[in-house]
């Protein structure tokens, strides 16, 4: 969905809400990490450049491989059609971890020192992404809902699951992350690298699993294992919960 369309000197300009949300999210994270981390300016630019490329490429590749490989095998030209959306958070997240690992190896930073500060600002980017999903009438919830914020698609009314995800993954998770981050800022000697990363993994995994109960699965996939509630989103979120709990247990034992 375009924000506006214009033609200037024969050049068609049509910025989309999709890329606007991405841009705002990156600007916010860049500003936040630059202000509250110990990463030098030129190295921060390198880190965010890595993340930008890998979150876009990884998010797209994640959707291609995890959600709809058959379609993209039949339509390979669609793989690079990023303007059509179709991104996977889990895919982007996985590739961002790889980008951070490469960065920390190159510049000799601690891996969890970087992921911790990113974990605090990422929920804001998630909130922006879900707002875009709602604006673009994507990822609807159960049919027949006619209450506040209902999504109208093809003459049918749906529950606004993107708004629920924006609330849980964005607002609620942001509040949780900022609470623990601010608490650590007040008692520097108790900071344990990896703790905030663990809290984020648990928080995102849990909120995503809850939100999936109100959201329709992809039509070409449906529910899994003969159930009426298990989706790929849940399947990919469970490992995040497990890793998050493991991280916190390890930090507690030290």
CA distance 59 to 222: 21
Q: What is the mean pLDDT of the chain?
A: 86
pLDDT per residue over 2-28, tens digit each?
565 666 655 655 556 667 887 898 899
Of 235 and 42, the structure prediction assigns the larger pLDDT to: 235
pLDDT of residue 175: 97
CA distance 37 to 100: 14
pLDDT of residue 21: 82
For range 70-85, the mean pLDDT: 74
pLDDT per residue over 102-115, tens digit each?
999 999 999 999 99
Spans of all domains in the chain: 18-253
Phi, psi (deg, nearest 5) at residue 183: -65, -40
For range 146-154, the mean pLDDT: 95
Of 233 and 64, the structure prediction assigns the larger pLDDT to: 233
For range 24-36, the mean pLDDT: 90
CA distance 117 to 193: 10
pLDDT at residue 185 is higher than 70? yes
Report residue 92 as tokens.
């982007």
For range 201-224, the mean pLDDT: 93
Is-contact 206 240, C-beta < 8 A?
Answer: no
pLDDT at residue 81 is higher than 60? yes
- Prediction pTM value: 0.86
Task: Give percent above pLDDT 70 in the chain.
Answer: 87
pLDDT of residue 132: 87
pLDDT of residue 65: 80
pLDDT of residue 50: 80
């Amino acid at each position: 969905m375009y924000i506006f369309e214009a033609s200037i000197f024969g050049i068609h300009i049509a910025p989309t809400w999709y890329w606007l949300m991405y841009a705002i999210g990156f600007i916010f994270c860049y500003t936040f990490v630059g202000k509250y981390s110990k990463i030098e300016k030129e190295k921060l630019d390198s880190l965010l450049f890595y993340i930008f490329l890998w979150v876009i490429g990884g998010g797209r590749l994640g959707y291609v491989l995890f959600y709809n490989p058959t379609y993209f095998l039949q339509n390979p030209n669609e793989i690079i059609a990023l303007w059509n959306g179709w991104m996977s958070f889990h895919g982007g997240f996985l590739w961002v971890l790889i980008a951070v690992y490469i960065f920390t190896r190159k510049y000799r930073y601690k891996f969890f020192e970087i992921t911790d500060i990113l974990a605090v600002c990422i929920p804001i980017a998630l909130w922006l992404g879900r707002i875009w999903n709602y604006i673009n009438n994507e990822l609807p919830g159960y049919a027949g809902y006619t209450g506040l914020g209902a999504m109208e698609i093809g003459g049918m009314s749906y529950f606004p699951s993107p708004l629920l995800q924006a609330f849980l993954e964005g607002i609620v998770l942001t509040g949780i992350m900022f609470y623990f981050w601010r608490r650590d800022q007040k008692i520097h000697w108790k900071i344990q690298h990896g703790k905030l990363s663990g809290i984020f993994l648990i928080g995102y995994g849990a909120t995503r699993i809850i939100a999936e109960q109100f959201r329709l699965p992809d039509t070409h996939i449906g529910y899994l294992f003969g159930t009426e509630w298990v989706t790929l989103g849940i399947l990919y979120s469970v490992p995040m919960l497990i890793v998050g709990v493991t991280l916190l247990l390890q930090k507690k034992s030290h």
